């Protein structure tokens, strides 16, 4: 059994509005200057493409309202497609970062974004949890007009999602013996956060 892919695999986790996309974009920029190849993919983007093909939804934020079996189908399809693409593009020493959420608030309860089957497909070397203060997260959610997040833009919900993200990340890491790294994305310190994550990834190459 192959425990790892030839390239480094990281799963970046964090509640909606924590700033994952911004941090990862800065990380890629820094890595390029150091001649390190980093490919960032968004699990939700892959899920959305498949969901649109199947006629399940007409926009991304409706995915979390699908039936759980449909969401799992989309997750598995997306994970397989991500690894297939990465095996074609990346080589040993390169880094694949999968941007996703550990927990999703659905209409009937909470659903894990990193179920065991996805962990077994991704075989991540590290799970990176990006955090920020509750106030900063809600402020960022409110500034991002491209997404619908009113149903989770409440302090008690954000705090709960953050706690569950840590819990699920550590539980998921047990299945693949993955490292867990927690970083704080403070307002105005995106580059510091990106450099801290890149330092961890470089230590795994």
**Any idea which of 73-87, 119-133, 144-158 has the lowest mean pLDDT?**
144-158
Distances, alpha carbon 11 to alpha carbons 48, 59, 64, 144, 191, in Å: 18, 24, 19, 23, 19
67 pLDDT higher than 60:
yes
2 pLDDT higher than 80:
no
Q: What is the DSSP letter of 205?
A: -
Distances, alpha carbon 6 to alpha carbons 3, 31, 118, 179, in Å: 10, 19, 18, 17
Query: Tell me, what's the pLDDT at 60?
Result: 86
DSSP states along 118-142: HHHHH--SEEEEEE--HHHHHHHHH
129 pLDDT higher than 50:
yes
- The mean pLDDT of the chain is 91
What does the alpha-carbon distance between residue 66 and residue 180 come to, in Å, rounded to a whole number?
29
Report the pLDDT averaged over residues 61-86. 93
**Which two three-digit tokens encode residue 136?**
């900063």
Query: Tell me, what's the pLDDT at 144?
Result: 60
Any idea which fold 8-42+93-202 has?
Rossmann fold (3.40.50)
Pairing of strands 103-105, 110-112: antiparallel
Helix axes 43-54, 68-89, angle to 10 degrees: 120
Q: pTM of the predicted model, to two decimals?
A: 0.91
148 pLDDT higher than 50:
no
Pairing of strands 38-42, 95-99: parallel
What does the alpha-carbon distance between residue 197 and residue 98 come to, in Å, rounded to a whole number?
13
105 pLDDT higher than 70:
yes
Using a pLDDT cut of 90, give the percent of the chain over it.
75
Query: Tell me, what's the pLDDT at 107?
Result: 76
Query: Tell me, what's the pLDDT at 115?
Result: 94
């Amino acid at each position: 059994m192959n425990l790892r892919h030839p390239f480094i695999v990281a799963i970046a986790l964090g509640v909606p509005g924590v700033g994952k996309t911004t941090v990862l974009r800065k990380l890629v920029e820094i890595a390029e200057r150091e001649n390190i190849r980093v490919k960032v993919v968004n699990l939700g983007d892959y899920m959305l493409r498949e969901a649109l093909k199947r006629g399940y939804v007409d926009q991304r934020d409706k995915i979390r309202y699908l039936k759980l079996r449909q969401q799992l189908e989309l997750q598995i399809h997306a994970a397989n497609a991500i690894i297939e693409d990465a095996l074609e593009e990346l080589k040993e020493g390169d880094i694949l970062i999968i941007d996703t959420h550990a927990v999703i608030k659905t209409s009937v309860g909470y659903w894990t974004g990193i179920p065991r089957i996805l962990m077994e497909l991704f075989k991540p070397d590290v799970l990176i949890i990006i955090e920020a203060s509750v106030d900063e997260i809600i402020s960022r959610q409110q500034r991002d007009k491209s997404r619908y997040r009113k149903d989770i833009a409440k302090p008690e919900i954000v705090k709960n999602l953050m706690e569950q993200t840590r819990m699920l990340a550590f539980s998921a890491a047990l299945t693949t013996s993955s490292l867990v790294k927690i970083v704080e994305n403070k307002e105005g310190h995106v580059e510091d956060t990106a450099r801290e994550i890149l330092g961890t990834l470089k230590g795994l190459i």
